[in-house]
Structure 1
Amino acid sequence: MSRLLKLHLFRIFILAIMASPSTGAVAAVSTRLAVAVSGQGPDVILIPGLASSAHVWDATVARLVPHYRVHVLQIAGFAGTAAGANADGPILEPIIADLHAYIADHHLKAPAVIGHSLGGLIGSGWPSRIPAMSVD
């Protein structure tokens, strides 16, 4: 896939995420994932499962935003979004690396990371990069 086509598909992916009525500002973390943030308070990160959109968390987000700052991930290539960099090569480790970078770049001190299915694998994978963050 050409670089120009990948860039175009990624832009479509970001626009689709920005159209979400239940989320706040969207940060394009990478060509592998985007994050919508809403609410204030302690940080909670929600990661959807395989082939799911960020919208699977809408009811949960509605209940959390009065008390928490909620970061909802959308993985590129899932639920009709453009695949971006996820179209080629491995997916899991690069997404975990991007999640780790997002947490570090946004200075999230001790976020609660909640994932379903593949989101659970991603969520449980990033603490291995910072052993002090891992909880049994």
Structure 2
Amino acid sequence: MTPDNHLAHDLDGTGPLLVAVHGITENRGSWDPVDLRRHFRVLRVDLRGHGDSPRIPPYGIDESVADIHGLLESLGEGQTPFVVGHSLGGVIATAYAARHPTRGVVNVDQSLRVDPLPAEVAATVRGEGFADFARTLFTSLYGELDPALVADIERRHTLDRDVFTGFWTPLLDWDADALAAWSRRVTTLPPDVPYLSLHGTDPGADYADWLTDRIPTAVVEQAPTRTHYPHLARPDWFVSRVHRFFGLPDHLPAAEADAPR
């Protein structure tokens, strides 16, 4: 356990700094099959309430952005990071770039177009039906993922209703206007930040138009495997795609790799 509200983390690799943010109920070990350290100096974090990080409410997007930025400052990292996030981590990566200098974002299979949940669903999530709801939700997302990978994901899952509902507060408690205003704020990025929205599931035929209206630099792509976990289904492909999207040469000189930007 880390002291106070400092996030549990690890930092490894050489090259430009990249922050990797996991999805809800997971932890930084979910990135184990994805060796981004080939091209980046990778900071993997356990979000608040996840993994080895403290279980200190409130749990939410804004709190996570502040936690990650505070961790970078405490580590004395002078580089402006790339940020890669899966699922909930994709929202956090986007929100981070809306608030702090960021060299680029990859959002893995997380639509930013959201609507309030119906009252009966919200009641289930907050009530005794939470565990069944969460298991059904995740099962629906596996798609074409190899069963061995599914087993590994399920082994890493930690279902905590307080943490889950804290991060889902916008969907559970806000009305459509409040949620739309939040979405607009989260997607207001500086005009020069590269943004890749990489989907293993279908975000909708008009999602690319919706997203580029809000993030003009956004590129929306479909991954080769139909699953919410395309980075785990094809990790070598995913690492190569991230590296190419950020436009980095195969071998950066040490001085250039470590230089702030």
TM-score by length of 1: 0.63
- Higher-strand-fraction structure: 1
C-alpha contact 1:36 1:73 (8 A) present in aligned 2 = yes
TM-score by length of 2: 0.35
Letter in 2 for 1:35: H
Query: How big is the alpha-carbon RMSD for the aligned residues of Structure 1 and Structure 2?
Result: 2.5
Note if 1:34 corresponds to 2:8: yes
Higher relative CO (Cα under 8 Å, sequence separation at least 6) belongs to 1
C-alpha contact 2:14 2:40 (8 A) present in aligned 1 = yes
Change (3 A) 1:132 1:33: closer
Query: Could you list the runs of 5+ residues in structure 1 that have no partner in the other structure?
Result: 1-10, 15-27
Aligned to 1:124: 94
C-alpha contact 2:7 2:53 (8 A) present in aligned 1 = no
Change (3 A) 1:108 1:59: farther
Q: What CA distance in whole angstroms lies between the structure 1 residues aligned with 2:38 and 2:89? A: 23
Letter in 1 for 2:12: S
SS in 1 for 2:32: helix
Deviating beyond 6 angstroms after TM superposition, the runs of 4 or more aligned structure 1 residues are none
Identity of aligned pairs, percent?
Answer: 27
Q: What CA distance in whole angstroms lies between the structure 2 residues aligned with 1:65 and 1:36? A: 12
Count of residues in correspondence between the two structures: 105
SS in 1 for 2:9: strand
- Please identify the structure whose Cα radius of gyration is greater: 2
Aligned to 2:81: 111
Q: What CA distance in whole angstroms lies between the structure 2 residues aligned with 1:113 and 1:119? A: 9
Query: Could you list the runs of 5+ residues in structure 2 that have no partner in the other structure?
Result: 104-189, 194-216, 218-261
